Amino acid sequence: MNKNLFPKLLFACLILLSRQPFAWNKLTNELDIKCQQTAKTLNCEYRTLSQATSPFINASSNKIELQVSENNHYPESNDITAILFLVDTSDPARQNVIEKNKALIKKLSASLEPHQKAGLASFDKTFRILAPIGTSSFLFTKSLDTLKAAGKTTELYRSLIKAIEHINSFEAQRKVIVLLSDGQAEDKAYFHSDIIKLSRKSGIIINSIGYPRSVPLSVALQTIRRLSEETGGSYIETDMSYNLSEDIFKQTLINIDTGGSFSIDLNKLYQNNNPVTFVKLAFKTSAGIKHISVPVTIKIAMKAAQTIPAATKKSSTEQLQTNNNTVNTPPIQIVTKQAPVQPINLWLWYGLPAAFIIIIIFILITLFLLWRKPETKVHSTENEYRPYAYLIENDGNETRYPITRTIWRIGRSKGNELSLDDTSISRRHAEIHRNSDGTFDIIDMNSMNGVYINDEKIGKAELHEGDVLEIGDFFLNFTQLASDYSLEESTVMQKTREPSTH
């Protein structure tokens, strides 16, 4: 039985009993817009992603033109834009990239407008605030000079969550994170979707600047490109020398102070008898017309039915009888249909509590059965499979690491077949390949500290029985012999006594 079934059912029941407040937002290739309906007014804020000028806006519903208030361009007099520069410092070998980051951020901070308040943070395994948002330009520059590549691991997603929490603590109408990174992410408990949901909920956009590590590893930049695309931000990428052209540099912050706000009067829709569920917005720009439908809730009051007073009914009947004395016409009776009695919703009174009770009983029974269920022991012995070879660590305990794949990776990351959690080991340090003829090769994967065989540094070499591998601070012996090899040796006859002289 699926252990996760009952919690999911319980969660679904709670969702059905709860309702979220009305709010709406939409992100397209050209616009980032959010609207909120209050009484008979629809208030909207929007930001253009590809152009600085604000468009002309029309609104209608069911062919009824609606009045749009003046389009207020952003920023207005009291508006503030918060910008947090977030720098990846996770690789000590890339201090040259950090120096490029410093120069770019200095150039960007010098071009900021008075309403744009900047802050600075760095991350590797730890998220650090170097200059809170709103810091003076003097202190900001001093903090920028302290940036140094020193970290070993990259917790990208967790650091972005911390950055969102920090920028949310600052009161501003627009909030932007400018991420400078190579796209590497080693998070295990935080994910891409966590960042998107939190950013959209907080109204934060992520502009990212990609610094490729190498041509093969530049694919990791897709990580930060998606973060920008799905939060309404922009993504730009340096060349392999970590430089930006002047045209690309101007696009770094061009999307943060665009658009504005407007309101739509919904009174005409309340005067219409037809139900309305959407208001259609038309954004007219130099690139063409963009149509967006915004959901609304219009409650139309039903008109009271006109009734004839009882006295009037009686006099009318009598007059009709008087005018038709010669005709035997029965009096007209007005029968009013009695309103149906609303039945009691038995499901709400009895069904829902009963469903909860049944769910709780099933959960208790399942937990009891799982607790009573005897564990099935899986017997595995070394004879069930035979590794190709072994690495034996010279740690006093002679820990053996079986080589069970034709391509066997060694490094600090958890995804390697042999994961060595030590700062002397690169994320992906080396690979051992088993060839079709049964021989083994070891390949250095451009590691920081290199690979040595019998005290000789190699790039790629064939492994032989008894070779000593030096990988970072670890010494490992290569062998193709199993741990019980000595038990497999043939028995040799020994002379235990002299032959008889008789």
Strand 418-419 relative to strand 407-411: parallel, antiparallel, unpaired? parallel
Q: Determine if the pTM surpasses 0.85.
A: no
Residue partners of 437: CB distance under 8 A and separation at least 6: none
Nearest to 86 by CA among 64, 108, 57: 108
Q: Distance (Å, rounded) from C-alpha 67 to C-alpha 481?
A: 85
State the pLDDT at residue 188: 83
* Integer Cα distance of 182 and 180 in angstroms: 7
Give the relative orientation of helices 156-168 and 192-202 as an angle to the nearest 10 degrees. Answer: 10
Strand arrangement of the beta sheet that strand 389-393 belongs to: 400-403, 389-393, 474-479, 468-471, 451-453, 456-458
Give the integer Cα–Cα distance in Å for 467 and 469: 6
User: What tens digit of pLDDT does each residue of 196-234 get?
Assistant: 999 999 899 999 999 998 877 778 899 999 999 999 999
pLDDT the model gives residue 192: 92
Beta-bridge partners for 235: 208
Give CA torsion, residues 204, 205, 210, 216, to 10 deg: 90
Nearest residue to 180 (alpha-carbon basis) of 121, 92, 137: 121
8-state DSSP, 390: E
Q: How far is CA 381 from the centre of its chain?
A: 42
Residues sharing a CB contact under 8 Å with residue 119, sequence separation 6 or more, in sequence order:
82, 83, 84, 85, 129, 131, 132, 133, 134, 135, 140, 166, 167, 170
Spell out, as residue ranges, where the chain has pLDDT lower than 70: 1-22, 51-54, 300-350, 373-385, 484-502
Provide the 10 A C-beta neighbour count for residue 427.
Answer: 20
Residues 6+ away with beta carbon under 8 Å from 223: 156, 183, 184, 185, 192
pLDDT at residue 63, as a whole number? 85
* Residues composing the chain: 502
Tens digit of pLDDT for each residue in 439-451? 999 999 999 889 9
Please state, in angstroms and rounded to a whole number, the distance separating the CA atoms of residues 250 and 227: 20
